[in-house]
Structure 1
């Protein structure tokens, strides 16, 4: 029976390709499913032999730890050289989107506070 070993929802393409390559190199038999047209399905990699789940999971966990350490080191290097993008720089790169998000957050905050602000009337 197939067992889900790796969800692909929200995973970057390079990470998914690396996991596929690792599974192929180690000889794990798997198949891939997509989320479907509306994204309601489970996008993931499924092992065909459930008895291999522990070994495959350990392989993927080790890869993700290495990837995390590599990306953290890369980000730290960018911060040291002053090349890391700040939140303000990201906001200024897309000013209309930033204004839209701020307006949405203000609207939600307003709708949450209106009942309390109008209690004494």
Structure 2
């Protein structure tokens, strides 16, 4: 089950509206709606506040998504696994960069052609 689905279930079980949760988190109802429909994700800070407000273990939600937390010897929370979203974002970014470079090259060719036509 996704984070958004879990958030919605817990919020509804607590008889809290999206607007009420949004106010408690200092965000908008639309943001809560986006999270619940998995169109966005809360930050770790927001997740910690959700945990406080809804009295739920959000770490278990993250573990279901491939992120686990363990305590090291100094009792600091460390991230063991990277969420696949990060690698997807990196691939998307690399694709955008490649497309940008291709567009720049095409624009250079057009400019060179225009300059040649002006000189002729």
Which bin holds the TM-score, normalised by the shorter protein?
0.3 to 0.5
TM-score computed with the length of structure 1 as normaliser: 0.33
TM-score computed with the length of structure 2 as normaliser: 0.34
- Structure showing greater relative contact order (alpha-carbon pairs closer than 8 Å, 6 or more residues apart): 1
